[in-house]
Structure 1
């Protein structure tokens, strides 16, 4: 073989192999002939005319995400940074438009995001920005979809992923939140204390009621027992006055005996002469007699007032 043919063969081989190329999955390749658009090649093994045709560029058909941070002011004059994530993809049938009509798609998308966010957020207060972040995302998507469709891009989704107010504003919001929680906690504590007081008062009232009922029952039984004791003594020839005196004396000495049996009781001085019971009985009888006299006098006085009022009634009606 002639040695002069070797360089020629090598050059031919290089030229032939330069016409073979591979396109990856989810990628489109733009082919130009002498600087003019020729064709769009999809994934797989592809061929082009060496020297005449060249690969002008590659366009990804995968879903891409662009994060845009916009600083703007709210309706209540709070500066905040809002992060908007835009997910977009080049439409498979519009690769030509995406490659030739738009030089820098990221810059174009960023400009639209800035425009929409700075038009929507100043209409809202800071609290509303947090609540209505989905409305902001929808507005951004609608604007981008209308604008970017002409360039071969499809907007998949837009998300407001972060809202970052000024540090002093966040600190103030945290203080307000803490104060509100402390206020609610104080209200719950007050309600709990009020419930405890009410329940305690109810318990005390119930205790007093039961205590009073017990005392009433006790006195009722004591009266019944005394009545039965007087009846027994009357049956053996002892009159009512003597029976009452005997019962009072017996109760007196029973009381002295119970006090003496109580080791922890304080010193109490009580009359213990045989006349003590009789004196107590006489005092009780005198008290009952005086009480009855006062009651009878009050009844007579009320009766006299009633008669006088009846006499005055007709005369007053005649005068009228």
Structure 2
């Protein structure tokens, strides 16, 4: 009898052993298992570690990774200036480590990742259609930021977190690349010609300013020279009046004018390059001689 009981127990253990083993679930890290009890989804998933389920009643419906994943896609877009180019972009996403998010990822939307990729691609195309090709080159990061801001809430409804969207350098057709290079080269040549013209204008303006300053200084020199001559004449006349009290004003003036003419002729003969000197006919040598000798010519009444 005892042996029969032991045999029955061993038999029952052997029969239930697979069920016992199947009720033990060791879940790896960064994984979540969504279970159903008699076909009813459970909102609380099984997390990493040792977990137990009820055999034949609880089934594991979804095994969901919580690690970050990426999708790389090549999309053709049309720019505002009617250029068709291909843009390669990368979507970095993950299932949020939250019970409701995991449940929504499993049951709310069919193929949530595929849906998210479609929406991101569609928005990239829409934004690109409002930009020119040059703007698309320079504002890739702004486009990615706008896509993340617009799609984060919608993605979270499916249990997904968007970590980053990277838009790589657009690749226009070879013909467009050559046209862009030619345009940039033409702009560079235009800028160089403009810079050269500006430099020439600055140079000429500098020369004109220098000439104007030179003439101004020359005029000031001539004016100062004339002031000095006038001052010298005034001082000479005053000296003559004080030392030659008997001489008339006309005699003093005639003496000064003739002395000045004689100095001019003498200076020209010494420093000039001319071989012939024409002496003015109105030089009154008699007055000069008489005045120098002290015989003054009376002033006409």
Fold conserved between structures, TM > 0.5: yes
1:195 matched to 2:213? The reply is no
Distance in 2 (alpha carbons) for counterparts of 1:76 and 1:85: 25
Aligned equivalent of 1:45: 50
TM-score (norm 2): 0.64
Q: CA deviation at 1:79?
A: 0.8
The answer to whether structure 1 residue 26 and structure 2 residue 30 are counterparts is yes
Greater helix proportion: 1
Please, which of 72, 95, 102 is the counterpart of residue 77 of structure 2?
72
1:167–1:283: structure 2 CA closer, same or farther, 3 Å change rule? farther
User: Contact 1:33–1:54 (CA<8 Å) still a contact in 2?
Assistant: yes
Unaligned regions of 5+ residues in structure 2, if any? 1-6, 286-301
Q: Could you state the TM-score of these two structures normalised by the residue count of structure 1?
A: 0.61
Counterpart residue number, 2:160:
154
Aligned residues: 265
Equivalents in 1 of 2:259, 2:67: separation in Å?
116
| Distance in 2 of aligned mates of 1:141 and 1:219 | 83
2:115 corresponds to: 108
Q: What SS does structure 1 have at the residue aligned with 2:208?
A: helix
1:270/1:13 Cα in 2 relative to 1: closer, same or farther (>3 Å)? farther
Structure 1 unaligned blocks of 5 or more: 260-265, 286-320
- Write the mapping of 1:52-67 to structure 2, written as runs, cut at 5 A: 55-67=60-72
- What is the CA–CA distance in structure 2 between the aligned matches of 1:82 and 1:283, rounded to whole Å? 100
The superposition leaves residues 8-37 of structure 1 with CA deviations (integer Å, 9 ceiling, x where unpaired) of 999998876665443244320234679986
> Cα RMSD over matched residues?
4.5
Distance 1:203 1:66 in 2: 69
What CA distance in whole angstroms lies between the structure 2 residues aligned with 1:212 and 1:232? 30
Aligned: 1:220 with 2:227: yes
Q: Which residue of 2 aligns with 1:280?
A: 280
Secondary structure in 1 matching 2:45: strand
